[in-house]
Structure 1
Amino acid sequence: MPAGSPNITTPLLANNRPAEGHCHNPTLVKTLSFGLNSLFLSTHILVNGRLLSLTGPEGPGAGAIVATYYSVTLGTAVGILLATGLQISPLIGKRKYIKAGQVIRTSWLLTAGLGTAATALMLANRGIFPRMFAPQTAVIAAQFFEGYAGACIPLLMIITNSQIAFAAGDWLIPPISGLLFAVMSSGISYGLLNRLGALGIGLGGTLSAATITAATQLWFLRPNYQDYQLYRRNLPHLLKKIKRFLQQGWRLSFQRLTEWVTLLLIATLLGLNHQSDALTASQPSIQYLALIASTIQGFAQAVGMRISTNRGGIQAAIRQGDKALALELHRSSVRSIILGNIIAASLNTAITFSFYLARGPLVQFFIPESSNTSTIELAETLLWINMAGLIPDALGLVTAGALRGWDDILLPTLYRFIMMIIVGIPTAWGLSEAFGGDNEAIFMFAARDIAMLLSTALIMYRCVGKIREDKDKIDAISENTDDTSDAPSSTYPALDVNPSSVITPNQPREANPHAFFNRNQRRHLSNPADDVPDEQDSEKETGTNNLQI
């Protein structure tokens, strides 16, 4: 075995395992893995909206409120916790498994804290909503949140654990956990609807989230995760780790919230202006946008995590002077960005045309046929207006997700925030007042589409610049570099490899430095690489902030 090679295998690097066959397109598989997870979790939101529409005439309006306030309340926490995947990915790339485990344990503590805060906010809605919305609409929405408040911590754990399993090479865990949660919550909520109403719908989510979280925590007890010491009691330098999380997480949260705050403001403005018909008509658009945007954000997070992992390997290769490996990882990043955008744009293109053709039945899924004809017609109009913006939305979300791999989060978010919230909504509201004042919803959703198109162009231009910067650094590598004192072994495996780099049954593992380790040969290891400082650990840590869990 080459010098410096680990003598165990890890699921975090298990891209090709001889015992399990060769994955012909790992980029596609992994992008779809996290995308499907987000699809199933957002389907849960859509089903809640449908069930709320069955609670009475005010149900569709309550569903629009629930979808937006739910997305903002939990989206704030989810944005911070998305730093989990981005922080463990470069550590994985450098094979610092113990440090990755410390990041994971820190994220679990933050999940508990953020989930508690989200629970308090949901319970507070009972006193807030009656002052903002029609009485019965406010009651239905508040009852749902009372039942759902207990789901905050376990649901956030599902999202965090999906990132961990994804990074660990267990790519089936994210979609399976999301699917099971969506199916279980739908069944339980429907069963409790007749007896408890909106409260029962919320309780279905709470019970399902707790069950799935318990199952994933048991999954992490498997031997494949022993090297990361996920259940050790001692967590050194806790305050510095939390600070690092928040420094990156608030930008991710801000990025994620830009999308949801826009929808929340639209729904709130319509409710405050007592446009109950417009609020009801916006329910289908908001629900479907939540479903589609959450799915695309899953693709975006997958692309960002892959690029973050690749860049950890590129940095190691540059220090070592391994230009060939650096180029291979760079090409892997470019492939991930291109494929992620193709998948997202193709999906949203198909949705745009199919939703336009089926807009009538799709609207009636949330709005009863007995509703006013004008309300149904407005809902259909709003639906195709929002579907028209899906393609630029997909490209912008995936490309912004890719930029997370470079830790370039704030500026792309500001592009969208300024275009959509600072400029778009006030302009749309002013124009609607100038043209009669009874079509605010149409103007605001149309302004959202235009803002997404403009901001997406700026985000994609910035991403191209980052790709070129990395390529220039790699081109500057001297193949004869001698400074390899603290560089990892050249056996760091590329994330996308050619079939020729896969070990055949008769080929010795030592002969192929770019092959992935076989997780079935795993033994416990305290990896020496965990003691090597990297960019994130450059501060001198004193150890005064240890936590005994």
Structure 2
Amino acid sequence: MQSNSLVHEAKKTLQLSLPIIFGEIAQMALHLIDTAMAGALGYKQLAAASLVLAVLNIPFVVGIGMTISVSQLVSMSHGRRDAQKVSHYFYNGFWICALTALIISLGLEFGKGILFHLKQDPEVAAMAVPFLQLMGWSVIPMLLFMSLKQFADGLEKTRTAMIITVIGVPLNILLNWLLIFGNAGFPRLELAGAGWSTLITRTLMFLALGAVILWHPVFNRYIAVRKNQWRLKMQTIKELLHIGIPSGLQIGMEGGAFAVSGIIIGSIGATEQAAHQIALTCASFTFMASLGLAQGSSIRVSNAFGTRNRQKILNIGKSTLITGLLYGIFCATLFIVLRNILPTGFNDNANVIEMASLLLVLAAIFQISDATQAIGAGLLRGIKDVKIPTILIAIAYWVIGIPLGYLLAFKGNMGASGIWVGFIAGLSCSSIFLCIRFMRMARKV
């Protein structure tokens, strides 16, 4: 009976998560397309694009973390069938995300000079500045889009944003073709053209999703009560920030750990850096499914938390963790079997391919813990437990993972492999900490 219930919950979570997963892959594709098309101009343009994306990464993912609070509280209110509260959380969450986006964009605009102080090629830094400015301002429509997406996702309408995101991919390619290379009579803007393409695409995506939410019958009941519920309230803002700030820190600490590790590996050598980038790109791609499962299970748990349905919370949690475990085993097997083939799609240097093959074996080992730690964090957000998990994640990555990786790399003479063993340790500890905490906290609901 219990196994049947777990299978049923796993199917429902997968059904909700699949559009989120496709949307995450499409978002990742937008960044890869910009980098690849800019790289066609030359290696310095590619270096400039990579530099900007690295600088953007941490503030951007912190902003994404802030938007997560919208789906959590909307889903909880939806579980209670409280349309008034859903509308209220949506409105307050939207303006928090708007303010967060503005702060990030202004920070990037006024801090653009940092590009000249990162020991980069001066020509590369000069090329990167206008691209950083445009990408920085594009954070505003992107986070506004994400706030609307989280609202729709919290109501379990996950296909809406996914469709718009997927449509955005060919639009971005077309705009890049026109503006980067100056085709069809458009000015040749080179790297700045990629920035304009992203800004235009993200703005149109935000406007499209906004139009759907304002005028589609599915969302009418939440828009109809705007006169009563669309007002800022300090208590509501505190509730949203209670989830949003720790969520942003959680995602930022994980992204920051990988960013710092990449810098450390870059100090070892170019071959190691290239191999690391190949393995990390493969691991990042498989992680999109884990991230989608984490978001889907978080929404469903938050919905059940709204009605204090302890057994449903536990069933959703257990079934999603088992799904993540099976998915991790599948990805690990794939990485091991294809370890000598996958790197050839990125580079033809024999030394890089050999090292990337070794790193893919290490990446295979942490596929299970990477999937389960992401799901564990999502499940805990679903029951509004965010402060202690943030501390646990900080310990796993910054007290255990990175220091151990550094020691193994330089004191243990393991090089890049040592950093990746640190990844394994950090992700495994994070997974164990978060999963144990979820099982304990869920029983107290």
TM bucket, shorter chain = 0.7 to 0.9
Structure 1 residues 32 and 183: alpha-carbon distance in aligned structure 2, compared to 1, 3 A threshold: same
Q: Is 1:452 aligned with 2:445?
A: no
The partner residue of 1:179 within 166, 188, 209 is 166
The letter for the 2-side match of 1:411 is I
The letter for the 1-side match of 2:318 is I
The partner residue of 1:97 within 65, 80, 83 is 83
The letter for the 2-side match of 1:352 is A
**Aligned residue number for residue 74 of structure 1:** 60
**Aligned residue number for residue 3 of structure 1:** none
Map 1:181-200 to 2 at 5 A: 181-194=168-181, 195-200=188-193
Map 1:246-261 to 2 at 5 A: 246-261=241-256
**Aligned residue number for residue 198 of structure 2:** 205
Structure of larger gyration radius: 1
Contact 2:68 2:247 survives alignment (8 Å): yes
RMSD of Structure 2 on Structure 1 (CA): 3.0
The partner residue of 2:259 within 251, 260, 264 is 264
Contact 2:400 2:425 survives alignment (8 Å): no
Contact 1:255 1:410 survives alignment (8 Å): no
The partner residue of 1:50 within 6, 20, 36 is 36
Map 1:34-433 to 2 at 5 A: 34-58=20-44, 65-124=51-110, 126-135=112-121, 136-139=123-126, 141-194=128-181, 195-221=188-214, 222-229=216-223, 232=227, 235-271=230-266, 273=267, 275-314=269-308, 329-359=309-339, 362-367=342-347, 369=348, 373-433=350-410
Give % identity.
Answer: 18
TM-superposed CA distance for 1:234, in Å, is 7.3
The letter for the 2-side match of 1:200 is G
In 2, the alpha carbon distance for the partners of 1:153 and 1:346 equals: 37
Deviates more, 1:422-431 or 1:203-212: 422-431
Query: 3-state SS of the aligned residue for 1:469?
Result: coil
Contact 2:30 2:169 survives alignment (8 Å): yes
Query: 3-state SS of the aligned residue for 1:82?
Result: helix
Q: Deviations over 1:144-190 (max 9, x none)?
A: 42332232111112222222112334332132123222332244334
Deviates more, 1:384-393 or 1:401-410: 384-393
Contact 1:155 1:213 survives alignment (8 Å): yes
Map 1:442-481 to 2 at 5 A: 442-470=417-445
Q: Deviations over 1:224-248 (max 9, x none)?
A: 3233237549743433332322222
Gaps of 5+ in 2: 1-8, 182-187
Q: Deviations over 1:450-508 (max 9, x none)?
A: 211122122211222223334xxxxxxxxxxxxxxxxxxxxxxxxxxxxxxxxxxxxxx
Q: With structure 1 as the length reference, what TM-score do the two structures score? A: 0.70
TM-superposed CA distance for 1:433, in Å, is 2.4
**Count, aligned residues:** 428
**Aligned residue number for residue 185 of structure 2:** none
Structure 1 residues 190 and 363: alpha-carbon distance in aligned structure 2, compared to 1, 3 A threshold: farther
In 1, the alpha carbon distance for the partners of 2:95 and 2:358 equals: 45
In 2, the alpha carbon distance for the partners of 1:213 and 1:413 equals: 30
**Aligned residue number for residue 4 of structure 2:** none
In 2, the alpha carbon distance for the partners of 1:361 and 1:123 equals: 41
Deviates more, 1:166-175 or 1:89-98: 166-175
Contact 1:308 1:405 survives alignment (8 Å): yes
Contact 2:10 2:316 survives alignment (8 Å): no
In 1, the alpha carbon distance for the partners of 2:254 and 2:169 equals: 22
TM-superposed CA distance for 1:265, in Å, is 1.0
In 2, the alpha carbon distance for the partners of 1:54 and 1:357 equals: 31
TM-superposed CA distance for 1:131, in Å, is 1.7
Gaps of 5+ in 1: 1-22, 315-328, 471-549
In 2, the alpha carbon distance for the partners of 1:183 and 1:233 equals: 40
In 2, the alpha carbon distance for the partners of 1:149 and 1:100 equals: 30
Structure 1 residues 145 and 397: alpha-carbon distance in aligned structure 2, compared to 1, 3 A threshold: same
In 2, the alpha carbon distance for the partners of 1:284 and 1:142 equals: 26
Contact 2:21 2:291 survives alignment (8 Å): yes
TM-superposed CA distance for 1:251, in Å, is 0.8
Contact 1:64 1:282 survives alignment (8 Å): no
Structure 1 residues 161 and 236: alpha-carbon distance in aligned structure 2, compared to 1, 3 A threshold: closer
TM-superposed CA distance for 1:121, in Å, is 3.7
Structure 1 residues 419 and 277: alpha-carbon distance in aligned structure 2, compared to 1, 3 A threshold: same
**Aligned residue number for residue 14 of structure 1:** none
In 1, the alpha carbon distance for the partners of 2:125 and 2:276 equals: 16
The letter for the 2-side match of 1:379 is A
**Aligned residue number for residue 6 of structure 2:** none
Contact 2:268 2:415 survives alignment (8 Å): no
* Higher RCO by CA contacts (8 Å cutoff, separation 6 or greater): 1
